[in-house]
Amino acid sequence: MKRTFTVCKRVIWLSAATLLLLNSCSVREISTLPDRQVTVGAGPEDMVMDFSQGTPRLLISCTARRESQEPFGEIVTYTPSTGAIDTLIRTGMPDTLFFQPHGIFLDNESNPPLLYAISHEHDEGFHPVYSWEVGDTALVFRELITSELLHSPNALTLGTNGELYVVNDAEDRNNMMEKIFRLNRANIVRLERNENGEWKAAVAAEGLGLPAGINRIGTTLYAGDAVNHLLHVYEIVGTELVAQAPVEGLRGNDNIRVIDQKLYTTGHVKPLKFVAHTQSPDKKSPVEVWEYDPAREKITSLYYTDGSTISAGSTALLLNGKLYISQVFEPFILEVDLPGL
């Protein structure tokens, strides 16, 4: 049985591109909750919570993605209680590498904490995963994890035994036709160390459509699917992923975060407007933020904007009654007051 949530849709044919897309036909109420912009750096696409330094802070993966922006690729911290914003100093990284972070995952159980970061390097087709030791003011380079199977990595998470799961969001990186025609050629790659301590990779699941997020609760793995508007659900059984009923109704979902056994994700709910926003910051792209409670199989909408407060929202976090939303292109995150939390 699929977990299905009521949505209202219409089919649109665009003969110029012969593409089929689904757009919501419902009229949405725009959130009017108090908010403020926090400037952190260009392209704050992903972020995680870090409690390792005593005072909670956000680690934010920033990469400039517009030609109009100065080159920038860093991990930036934001400490809500003090308002401090800092760029972590990277140490020990080989000079031959070019750090341009995308999806990140923080292993809080490691000592020191380890930050895993996907990077899209200068060399075409080279998309390694960095492992960094996280300190108060610095990142210390631990190792570089590579595989030819990481051809279009977008997001990653740790498994139950230290293995990594990485979603490739396409078979052919940046191939728009895969997304337009819903070819579902994306996959999940499993990386684990062999007996010699070397990282080995294998495809663990196939047939996904633009997964931009992945995370885990216990032995249950959740992977996004932005073109089919659902979360794929798998049970981790040894080295296998056993597919379960998907979670439907999360339109254009992006990164997935886990807080108190619940999932939080954002959605690019108007695909054509998102595409327009990729070309110009003046074109606004609506964003919705959801909470999904697996125990109750319930989706709750926490926030919706037509793009006027933030466009192309990519990650959502909750901390001390505030919702934090990052985005793909512009240099700020949004801090929103959420009543009752």
Closest CA to 264 of 325, 337, 181: 325
pLDDT tens for the 341 residues of the chain, in order? 444 333 333 322 233 333 334 444 456 899 999 999 999 999 999 999 999 999 999 999 999 999 999 999 999 999 999 999 999 999 999 999 999 999 999 999 999 999 999 999 988 889 999 999 999 999 999 999 999 999 999 999 999 999 999 999 998 887 777 777 778 999 999 999 999 999 999 999 999 999 999 999 999 999 999 999 999 999 999 999 999 999 999 999 999 999 999 999 999 999 999 999 999 999 999 999 999 999 999 999 999 999 999 999 999 999 999 999 999 999 999 999 998 76
C-alpha distances out from residue 32 to 301, 339, 341, Å = 14, 12, 16
Q: Tell me, what's the pLDDT at 150?
A: 97
Other residues' Cβ atoms within 10 Å of the Cβ of residue 14: 11
CA distance 21 to 26: 16
**Residue type for 12, please?**
I
Pair of tokens at residue 100? 């341009």
Cβ atoms of residues 43 and 21 within 8 Å: no
Q: Where in the sequence is the domain holding 99, given as residue range(s)?
A: 38-146
d(CA 121, CA 170): 17
Instruction: Give the pLDDT score at 178.
Output: 79
323: nearest Cα among 289, 286, 293: 289
3-state secondary structure of 277: helix
Q: Give dist(CA 321, CA 35) in Å, integer.
A: 12
Give me the pLDDT at residue 183, please: 82
Q: How wide is the angle at C-alpha 232 spanned by C-alphas 161 and 6, nearest 5°? A: 145
Is residue 55, in this structure, part of any structural domain at all? yes
Q: Is residue 132 a contact partner of residue 140, using CB atoms and an 8 Å limit? A: yes
Q: Is residue 258 part of a domain?
A: no
Phi, psi (degrees; rounded to nearest 5) at 176: -65, -30
Distance CA 158, CA 122 (A): 26
Domain membership of residue 64 (yes or no) is yes
What pLDDT score does 341 carry? 64
Q: Are 213 and 192 in contact (CB under 8 A)?
A: no
Query: For residue 68, is it within any domain?
Result: yes
SS3 readout for 213-274: CEEEECCEEEEEECCCCEEEEEEEECCEEEECCCEECCCCEEEEEEECCEEEEEEECCHHHH
Q: Tell me how many domains the chain contains.
A: 1
* Predicted local confidence at residue 84, as pLDDT: 98
Is residue 273 in some structural domain? Answer: no
> Long-range contacts: 246-250, Cβ < 8 Å, 24+?
246/2, 246/3, 247/3, 247/222, 247/292, 247/297, 247/299, 248/2, 248/3, 248/4, 248/5, 249/4, 249/5, 249/6, 249/7, 249/299, 250/224, 250/290, 250/292, 250/299
Question: What confidence score (pLDDT) does residue 26 get?
Answer: 55
Is position 33 within any domain?
A: no
pLDDT computed for residue 182 by the predictor: 78
Q: Is residue 82 part of a domain?
A: yes
**DSSP β-bridge partners for residue 298:** 293
Residue 92 CA to residue 147 CA, distance in Å, equals 22
Structure tokens at 63: 């990469």
Domain assignment present for residue 77? The answer is yes
Strand order, beta sheet including 138-145? 89-91, 138-145, 129-134, 114-119, 101-107
List all residues 6 or more positions away from 83 whose beta carbon is below 8 Å from its beta carbon.
none
pTM for this structure? 0.92
